[in-house]
Structure 1
Amino acid sequence: MTTALPEPLRTRWQPLRTGLVDLFHYDVEEFHFRDGRLLLRGNNGTGKSKVLALTLPFLLDADLSPRRVEPDGDPGKRMEWNLLLGGEHPHSERLGYTWIEFGRLDPTSGETHFRTLLCGLKAVSGRGIARHWYAVTGQRVHHGPDAPAEGALSLVDATGTALSRDRLVEAVGGHGMVYDQAKTYRRAVDEALFGLGEQRYGALVDLLVRACCTPSTSTS
């Protein structure tokens, strides 16, 4: 049974879907937003916080450091742990992706427009994150047994293996750009979704990171 993809309902950009490929304990996982909101339910330890840590605001921020990604800011929880699982993964290297899709309606024509942000990460035992890259594309991510729509983007090949950076460049083609530097990627994200400029965009992302990654405290 094929689940229909969510469609944008507003003229402003809104998140529609987010997903992980070969990250944490996930092979290929996808989560749908409803009216721009995402509800994750499950028992403690099932990975709800990890999904958020690896998607938003990380895909707006593009900073791999634990102080920006991890909810508790623990410096010991380096990004490579999310791939190699502290040595518990059966392979000594692993390549994965995190992605999020935004959509909007054109106020004049009513046509739908999409932007997908993604980050590819390769970790190697003893080396940490050996390489990482980012992309902004107008394609919609598609994974599954049914044939993808024309122009859709699959982050895995026919064998289920996550795409290397070079193969991603080929897959994105003329629909977007792949970036190796966080700064140029952040600029592209701002231009694609917000149009705030470097300083205002940086302030927005800093606010989101503080809101998501500041440990809660209690008083007695």
Structure 2
Amino acid sequence: MERWQMKRVGILNFWYYDEEEFLFEEGRLILRGTNGSGKSVTMQSFIPLVLDGDKRPERLDPFGSRDRRLEYYLLGEADQGHTDRTGYLWLEFYHPLKNSYKTVGIGLRARRGVPQLGFWGFLLEDGRRINQDFYLYDYTLWLEQGKKVPLNRKLLEDKIASGGQVVQEQTAYRDMVNKSFFGFRENESYRDLLKLLLELRSPKLSKDFKPSSIYEILTKALPPLMEEELNSLSDLLEDMDQIADHLEELQMHLTELGKIEKRYDRYNRFLLKQHSDNVLHQGEEYDHYVNQVEVCEKELKEIQKQQQDLEQRLDACKQRLRTVEAELDVLNRSEAMEKQRELELLEDQRKGLKKQLISTQGRLDSNLKRLERVQQDIAAAEEKLSVLSKEQSQIIEDLEDLARMTEFREHDIYHGLWMRGIPQDGQWAKSWQKDLDVHKQRLVSALQTARGKEKPQDRRLKQR
């Protein structure tokens, strides 16, 4: 609940009550008793009296009688009543969301032979609660002598202090209650509410519960409708025919849009199938070129290894040639006869090494040319792979748009698989095709259902 609820009502020194409290349950209270037991007088003492402070006799009596003034409920009969008496009526409210309490009430003083009735209203809004931490009588005197003497207006003002308000005018009290609990912007609206409460309080209303009686009560209680309010209603009635014509036109547009949707849906499914086949084809080509790149890389590594071996052998041969030349030089300096054979042998070895060097150099040149061709093939393959990757990204974006348009949610799963790396096995393509067929069947079923709903509506339109 986001509003104030009545929590307790209390009486002090009023009518036959010395002091009494009544508890509400979520703002509701039931009083039961035989006729003449005082139920009506008890309730009329609070509602509407405590809500606006209006003390007129006809407001106090449910039958509208002016026989008993408010002074009677304080002083009693002239021959056996009181001569001077002060009493209080109070009503406590509770706000569940704010967990806050506020209490509003009136103080009354009647004196025999004095025509003017003393009146003051009060509001307690600092959280203090009557008979718990705030008392409307002299609490110290009650503790000492056991007598509950009600506070006068001055003592009440001093005791409330800054925790609330005390007013002496009935109009100011009514406005204070409205502002604290009901929040009507205009005081006239609050007075209309109180008037409605008085009408609903009519005696034996439940025994005469007829439409005519309810109509009469509401006619008396509710304010008349202004011309400005009726103008808006008449304008609304005049616009109903235009709204009906516009509705019929919208229904025709809806039918035509359904036809367009049907054709456009077939077109979208055709594009989806076409782009799907293209993606599968591009995926196969991508796999093929990736494999080619891997083979070329392996061949490149083998050629580089062979080149390294040949270069090592060439270095060894050159080292050997330098050694032979050095030995030959040594032989040339020795005795010619003794070293002639060694010279010829070394010469033969040199020629053999030179031939071997020439042969090795030839193989090295051949391998270098082959390496250059392989590098060119790799560059071409990488360039084509880059083009295919761009085409694949564009196709995947187109598929993403088509999937959003047709609400193909399973597309996100396969999109994620593809972006993490192309699966080696082709099973995912079959699963994707299967989910696509299932979604296609759902679209067809939804379209048929929509057509089925359109036909009854078209028949109703024709009947109209």
**Please, what TM-score do these two structures have when normalized by structure 2?**
0.41
Task: Give the whole-Å Cα distance in 2 for the aligned partners of 1:155 and 1:88.
Answer: 28
What does residue 121 of structure 2 align with?
A: 134
Q: Which runs of 5+ in 1 are unaligned?
A: 1-9, 143-147
Are the equivalent residues in 1 in contact too, given 2:52–2:173 (CA < 8 A)? no
CA distances 1:132-174 after superposition (whole Å, capped 9, x unpaired): 11111123111xxxxx3xxx32111133111111111112111
Task: Give the whole-Å Cα distance in 1 for the aligned partners of 2:119 and 2:23.
Answer: 25
User: Residue 167 of structure 1: which of 139, 144, 155 is its match?
Assistant: 155
What does residue 176 of structure 1 align with?
A: 164
Tell whether 2:110 aligns with 1:123: yes
Task: Give the whole-Å Cα distance in 2 for the aligned partners of 1:216 and 1:153.
Answer: 39
Number of residue pairs aligned between Structure 1 and Structure 2 = 197
- What does 1:38-117 correspond to in 2, within 5 Å? 38-87=29-78, 89-106=80-97, 111-117=98-104
What does residue 136 of structure 2 align with?
A: 155
CA distances 1:62-121 after superposition (whole Å, capped 9, x unpaired): 110011121122111100010111225553111101111111023xxxx41111110111
SS at match of 2:70: coil
- Bigger-Rg structure (1/2): 2
Residue type at the aligned position of 1:137: L
Are the equivalent residues in 2 in contact too, given 1:119–1:132 (CA < 8 A)? yes
RCO (CA 8 Å, sep 6+): is it higher in 1 or 2?
Answer: 1
SS at match of 2:76: helix
Higher share of residues assigned helix: 2
Are the equivalent residues in 1 in contact too, given 2:137–2:150 (CA < 8 A)? yes
User: Residue 203 of structure 1: which of 189, 192, 206 is its match?
Assistant: 192
Are the equivalent residues in 1 in contact too, given 2:52–2:177 (CA < 8 A)? no
Q: CA deviation at 1:206?
A: 1.4
Q: CA-atom RMSD, angstroms? A: 1.8
Task: Give the whole-Å Cα distance in 2 for the aligned partners of 1:174 and 1:74.
Answer: 40
User: Residue 6 of structure 2: which of 5, 15, 18 is its match?
Assistant: 15
SS at match of 1:187: helix
Higher share of residues assigned strand: 1
Q: CA deviation at 1:216?
A: 4.3
**Please, what TM-score do these two structures have when normalized by structure 1?**
0.83
Task: Give the whole-Å Cα distance in 1 for the aligned partners of 2:115 and 2:91.
Answer: 24
What does residue 227 of structure 2 align with?
A: none
SS at match of 1:86: coil
Identity of aligned residues (%): 33
What does residue 7 of structure 1 align with?
A: none
Task: Give the whole-Å Cα distance in 2 for the aligned partners of 1:83 and 1:187.
Answer: 25
Task: Give the whole-Å Cα distance in 2 for the aligned partners of 1:38 and 1:88.
Answer: 35
